[in-house]
């Protein structure tokens, strides 16, 4: 049985659909950020914000920005969603949301406890589509999106669902701004993953929606690998032992070797701890020949939606490869304290991209690897 992504769309600071996002990401366009004031004293917040008209929601419990982002993205998939609803029974279509913030920002004003419930978006999407099957939320910090694909595959393999709709979403809120600033990993300048001069990460917001089915045409979910560091609440293990295990598990699951990977979309936050851990793991398993880049300097770190927007970018790369990969955006001064890896250069040409690996790591040492391939 093959599990495939049969539809996907996305929304982020780069654009209001995956086609626009893809073109701007390939070009390495970092102009879609803004410097926000009023969040941190004497410090600007360099962030990737979505600017487009969003649908209204008139049910008070579900009227949060994350759900409006879902509705906007869902509309881009209208034809595929309608076909899905005709194809399967409503009790055999699962819903998984991946998020970290839900409506915590709205709760500060509304005091409606439904707004900060992590299950809000999953419940909203399930109700909006009049579905009767399984629905839940995955919230494992920044690895949530890939963990959602792992759960979706399990639901289909165990005949709980015939198809699953995954919605990875997080809106820009004060909570992560304050949190990452307190950890001293938030940069007021553009992030520079793997650079000697990096200062930290930038926050973004995004929504990516996927349709997952079995034994049909689409992007194949070839392999998944998960592990847990059990090392530190907010800092990854610098030796990357469990990340190496997750990558190895995904490769074994996909029945391929490291040499078969054409491109790696790195977690690449631009923090010193993440860059050391990730470069160590990639070097240990894949060496320094596999092209790698982080797209977070283009989109910002979209938290629970990070793996979603990055997976959508990988899907589009596999569907519409134009001889180029997403470039690594940094100042060209590699941190020589890190193991050597092959960073993609802007406008560099490559012969093929048939298999991508997407990496995602979250607080608490939750690690997730997703390998996607052409059919």
- Which pLDDT score is estimated for 42? 85
- Which pLDDT score is estimated for 46? 96
pTM: 0.97
Sheet holding 135-138, edge to edge: 135-138, 93-98, 163-170, 206-214, 3-12, 219-228, 366-373, 355-362, 263-265, 291-293, 342-343
Other CB atoms within 10 A of residue 223 CB = 21
Which band of pLDDT confidence, cut at 50, 70 and 90, is reported for residue 238?
confident
DSSP labels, 8-43: EEEEETTBSSHHHHHHHHHTT-----EEEEEEETTE
- Residue of 356, 307, 89 whose CA lies nearest to 207: 307
- Is residue 296 within 8 Å of residue 322, measured between CB atoms? no
CATH assignment, 3-214: 3.40.47.10
Q: Which CATH class is domain 219-373?
A: alpha beta
Which band of pLDDT confidence, cut at 50, 70 and 90, is reported for residue 138?
very high
* 236 has pLDDT over 90: no
Domain range summary for the chain, segments of one domain joined by +: 3-214, 219-373
* 45 has pLDDT over 80: yes
- Which pLDDT score is estimated for 237? 81
- Residue of 312, 76, 89, 94 whose CA lies nearest to 210: 312
> How far lies 358's CA from each of 6, 222, 224, 225, 256, in Å?
18, 12, 10, 11, 15
Mean pLDDT of 70-93: 98
| CA 255 to chain CA centroid, nearest Å | 24
pLDDT, tens only, 169-220: 999 999 999 999 998 999 999 999 999 999 999 999 999 999 999 999 999 9
Rounded CA-CA distance 337/339 in Å is 7
Q: CA quadruple 298, 304, 309, 314: dihedral positive or negative?
A: positive
Give the angle subtended at the CA of 48 by the CAs of 44 and 52, to the nearest 5°.
Answer: 125
What is the overall mean pLDDT for the chain? Answer: 95
Domains 3-214 and 219-373 are alike in CATH topology = yes
Give the angle subtended at the CA of 142 by the CAs of 136 and 145, to the nearest 5°.
Answer: 45
């Amino acid at each position: 049985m093959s599990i495939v992504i049969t539809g996907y769309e996305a929304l982020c600071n780069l654009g209001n659909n995956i086609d626009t996002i893809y073109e701007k990401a390939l070009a390495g366009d970092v102009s879609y950020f803004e410097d926000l004031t009023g969040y941190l004293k004497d410090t600007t917040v360099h962030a990737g914000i979505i600017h487009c008209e969003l649908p209204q929601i008139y049910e008070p419990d579900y009227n949060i920005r994350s759900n409006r982002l879902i509705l906007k993205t869902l509309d881009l998939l209208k034809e595929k969603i309608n076909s899905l609803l005709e194809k399967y029974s409503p009790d055999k279509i699962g819903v998984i949301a991946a998020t970290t913030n839900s409506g915590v920002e709205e709760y500060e004003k509304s005091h409606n406890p439904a707004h900060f419930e992590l299950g809000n978006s999953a419940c909203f999407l399930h109700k909006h589509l009049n579905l009767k099957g399984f629905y839940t939320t995955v919230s494992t910090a920044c690895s949530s999106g890939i963990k959602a694909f792992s759960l979706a595959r399990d639901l289909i393999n165990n005949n709980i669902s015939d198809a699953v709709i995954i919605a990875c979403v997080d809106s820009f809120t004060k909570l992560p701004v304050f949190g990452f600033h307190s950890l001293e990993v938030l940069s007021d300048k553009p992030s520079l993953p793997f650079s000697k001069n990096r200062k930290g990460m930038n926050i973004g917001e995004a929504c990516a929606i996927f349709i997952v089915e079995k034994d049909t045409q689409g992007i194949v979910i070839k392999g998944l690998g998960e592990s847990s560091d059990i090392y530190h609440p907010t800092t990854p293990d610098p030796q990357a032992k469990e990340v190496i295990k997750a990558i190895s598990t995904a490769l074994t699951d996909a029945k391929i070797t490291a040499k078969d990977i054409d491109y790696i979309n790195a977690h690449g936050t631009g923090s010193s701890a993440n860059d050391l851990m990730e470069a160590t793991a990639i070097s240990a398993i894949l060496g320094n020949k596999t092209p790698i880049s982080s797209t977070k300097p283009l989109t910002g770190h979209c938290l629970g939606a990070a793996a979603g927007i990055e997976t959508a970018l990988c899907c589009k790369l596999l569907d519409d490869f134009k001889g180029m990969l997403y470039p690594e955006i940094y100042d060209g001064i590699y941190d020589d304290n890190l193991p050597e890896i092959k960073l993609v250069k802007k406008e560099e040409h490559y012969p093929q991209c048939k298999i991508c690996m997407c990496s995602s790591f979250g607080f608490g040492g939750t690690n997730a690897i997703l390998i996607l391939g052409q059919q």
